[in-house]
Structure formats: C-alpha cells, structure tokens
Amino acid sequence: MSNKFYDNPVIKWVEYRLPIFSFIDESVGSGYPTPKNLNYWWNFGSLAGIVLAIMVATGIVLAMNYTPHVDYAFESVERIMRDVNYGWLIRYIHMNGGSMFFILVFIHMFRGLYYGSFKEPRELLWIIGVMIFLAMMATAFMGYVLPWGQMSFWGATVITNLFSAIPIIGDYIVTWLWGGFSVDNPTLNRFFSLHYLFPFVIFGLVFVHLWALHVHKSNNPAGVEIKSSEDTIPFHPYYTMKDLFGLGVFMIFFMFFVFFAPNFFGEPDNYIKADALVTPAHIVPEWYFLPFYAILRAVPDIWFISAKLGGVIAMFGATLVLMLLPWLDRSKVRSARFRPIYRQLFWVFFVDCLILGWVGANSPDAVFHGIPFLWIGQAGTVYYFAHILIIIPLVSILEKPIMPPASISAAVTADGAATKPAE
C-alpha cells in the first residue's frame, strides 16, 4: 500500500521479498486509520499486551531458577527472593504483574460492555477476547500453585476437585488432572509445564484478536462506524503517543505495588510451605477470582442437580455466557452514551460484580449486619445472570435510545451539534 518506505534500497529489497514494513505500518503505524475520538478507556488493550510481554520476560528468568518439585519448589522460590541477583524484583514484578493484567483486562472488558464494542460486526473479536480471559485464568491459577505454599496447595486442591462434580467420569478426570490420588509432585510438574505453555497460547489468541480488530477497526466512544477519512487519524504517531503516556501512568501504579506493597494482593498463608494434612482456616483464591468464587458457593441444591455441580456450572457459565452478549443485546445503538437506561444498568452490573467479589472474600458462614453473606452472594449471582440473560435483551428492545451522531466527525462539527452526548 504505502510506497513511503521504498526510497531506502535495503528496505526496498526486504519489502519486495517479505512485506514486513508495510505490514507493521498498516498494523500499528501511520498506515492504520484509527477513530479520532478514542478516549483513555481505549488504552487498556495495548496496556494488557505490554503486561503480557512483561510477564513472559520475567517468567522466563524465574524459570531459570525455579525447581518444580514438591521438596524444592518452596525453597527455590525463597532462594530467588534472597539469593538470586534481583530475584526479589523479578518475582515481585511477575507476582504483581498477574494482578495488574487482570485489572487491565477487567477494565478493558467493562469498556467493551459500556461502549457496545462486542456488537456486530465485532462478535468474533469479543468471543476471542473471552477466550483470552479464560486462558488467562487458567494460566494464573497454575502459576499460583508453583510457589507451593499453603494457598497454592489448597487452592489447587479445591479447584481441581471442582471437576469431580461432573457426573460419572468426574473422579477419573480429577485423578487424571492430578496424575495421582491427591495434588502432589506430578500435579506440580504438569502445572509448571502448562504455566510455561499457556502464555504462548494467549499470544496466539491475541494475534487473532488483533487480526479481527484490524478488519473493522476499533469501536469508539460514539459507537458509530468510520464513515470517511474525516473520522480517522493515523495510529502512529497519535495513538502510539497516547498509549505511551498511558503506559507511563500505569507503570507508576504498577511499580508502586512492586516496590512499596509487593504482598498487597497476596495471602500471608502462601509463605507457609504446603502441608497436605493441614487445611488453612480460610481458603481464599486470588482477588481476581473472588466474584467467580462467590458464584460457585451461592448455588444451592436445585432439583436433581447437587449444589456442587450447580455451583461449578454457574461459575463457568458466568464467563461463558458473555460470549452470547452480541446476540442478547439487540439494540442497534452501540455506545451507552446514547442509551439512557442501559447506561444506568451498566453501573448496577458493575457494582454487582464488586459485591460478588466482596462476598467471595468472606467466609460463607459469615454475617454482615445480620445478613448472611450466603444470601448476599445468592442475590448477586441471580442479578449477574438476570442482567445478562433477561435485562439486557429486554432493555435493548424496550429502551428508546438518543439518536447517535451521523458520524464521528459530525459529533463535533456544526451539522452534528444537535446530538449532544447525554454523558
């Protein structure tokens, strides 16, 4: 497409054989037209990509000093912390990087929900995103097992036992996952192997995610498609600069935790070596799993489905149901800016997710001002599914949206001035 590189004879020679320069330019360069109205909520995808790269880089170095054996894993992590040069820094970056990755991806997903980024023609883009999220959760779970502390061991025990809820073959699956009759050395070995593999699977999915993104380009806060070149600016230098600025702000946040509160997101019990005969008083997963943990525990026995199986179905269903959103939301208007009712319900859903996280952090027997946490968790779970499966479809049919601007440009020019965003 662009002939601008062809002046340099070396680039010209390479480009003729492998058009890599134009490929880069059309992906993240001046040859990629991007909506000119993107706000800072559009920074989080690229930030998540950068954190993925940071996780791989720190992870490779950690693997050079880590021993995946039940007798040495805990000690090898302590050795990394105490003896390996800058081992403490690299491990704390990796450890907190996991939390950062989830913070960024949660914001990225809520942004998609708010601005309707999942809608036609970006359904596959959204579904691939949900798959990335699932792969991230699997990777994070297995990574948390590797230090072989008490939470590692008991988290692994509780989560792998979830599969025993599957009728008939459940117990065989659990034995197969463990490679034995309990979480033990074979389990630790395979989790290490898979924890190293999965980030590359995520890389592959991210590539497909970006491929699909570049077909119809980014959605934008107005939620209207690009109509003409008036609506776009080149990705480079405009959004490379904006993303870099956002990266600077984010790194301040990230490094604050790495240097000043490295164990803020962790559990003290994980600095006790795994003991198969002592269960910690209160097993809690990492914070990013808490809403799902609350859903797992909220489901009672329903008809012939046991609480255990029902909880597992609800927990996995909570993520998988997101894949159906493009078809559940029938509103042609994407952005919540022009959807007065959906916009309010979006925030109700956001608060519901926070409440579920708060319930997940508490013991199911605990009571909050006379209300058992179990009830709060059940109410939150019912709303979660009702929001996605009932409220979103109904609102998308019944709500009368505000007329969106004719184009991205029209929103800020005289002829589009009539349609002021309701935000």
Partner 1 sequence: MSDTADTDDKTRRDFLLISTCTVGAVGSALAVWPFIDSMNPAADTLALSTTEVDLGPIAEGQSITVVWQGKPVFVRHRTAAEIKDAEAVNLGDLIDPQDDKDRAQKPQWLIMVGVCTHLGCIPLGQKASESKGEFGGWFCPCHGSHYDTSGRIRKGPAPKNLPVPKYIFLTDTTILIG
Active site residues: 214, 218, 242-243, 286
Closest by CA to 249, choosing from 29, 36, 39, 43, is 43
Cα 155 to Cα 224: distance, rounded to the nearest angstrom: 44
Structure tokens at 292: 């799902």
Cα 188 to Cα 252: distance, rounded to the nearest angstrom: 34
Cα 158 to Cα 136: distance, rounded to the nearest angstrom: 19
CB 205, min distance to partner 1, A = 22
27 part of the interface to partner 1, by CB under 8 A? no
From 213-221, 239-247, 347-355, 361-369, span contacting partner 1 (CB under 8 A): 361-369
197 part of the interface to partner 1, by CB under 8 A? no
CB 29, min distance to partner 1, A = 42
Please report the DSSP string for 227-266 in residue order.
-SGGGEEEIIIIIHHHHHHHHHHHHHHHHHHHHH-TTTTS
In the Cβ-directed half-sphere of 261, how many Cα atoms lie within 13 Å?
A: 10
CB-CB contact of 419 with 411 (8 Å): yes
Find how far residue 96's CA is from the centre of its chain.
15
Among 1, 10, 168, 281, binds partner 1 (CB under 8 A): 281
Could you give the string, one character per residue 70-109, with x where binding to partner 1 holds by CB under 8 A and - elsewhere?
A: ----------------------------------------
CB 183, min distance to partner 1, A = 8
From 77-85, 108-116, 181-189, 239-247, span contacting partner 1 (CB under 8 A): 181-189
CB 300, min distance to partner 1, A = 9
From 105-113, 119-127, 136-144, 182-190, span contacting partner 1 (CB under 8 A): 182-190
274 part of the interface to partner 1, by CB under 8 A? no
Among 108, 122, 297, 337, binds partner 1 (CB under 8 A): 297
How many residues lie near partner 1 (CB under 8 A)? 33
Question: With 0-12 CB in 10 A as exposed, 13-18 as middle and 19+ as buried, what is 414?
Answer: exposed
Question: Which amino acid makes up residue 69?
Answer: H
306 part of the interface to partner 1, by CB under 8 A? yes
Question: With 0-12 CB in 10 A as exposed, 13-18 as middle and 19+ as buried, what is 52?
Answer: buried
Among 277, 398, 403, 414, binds partner 1 (CB under 8 A): 277
Taken in order 376, 379, 385, 391, the sign of the CA dihedral is negative
154 part of the interface to partner 1, by CB under 8 A? yes
Closest CB to partner 1 among residues 279, 344 = 279
Going by the DSSP 8-state scheme, the letter that residue 86 receives in this structure is T
Cis-peptide into 167, omega within 30 deg: no
308 part of the interface to partner 1, by CB under 8 A? yes
Sites of contact with partner 1 (CB under 8 A): 154, 157-158, 160-162, 175-184, 186, 190, 276-279, 281-283, 297, 306-308, 311, 363-365
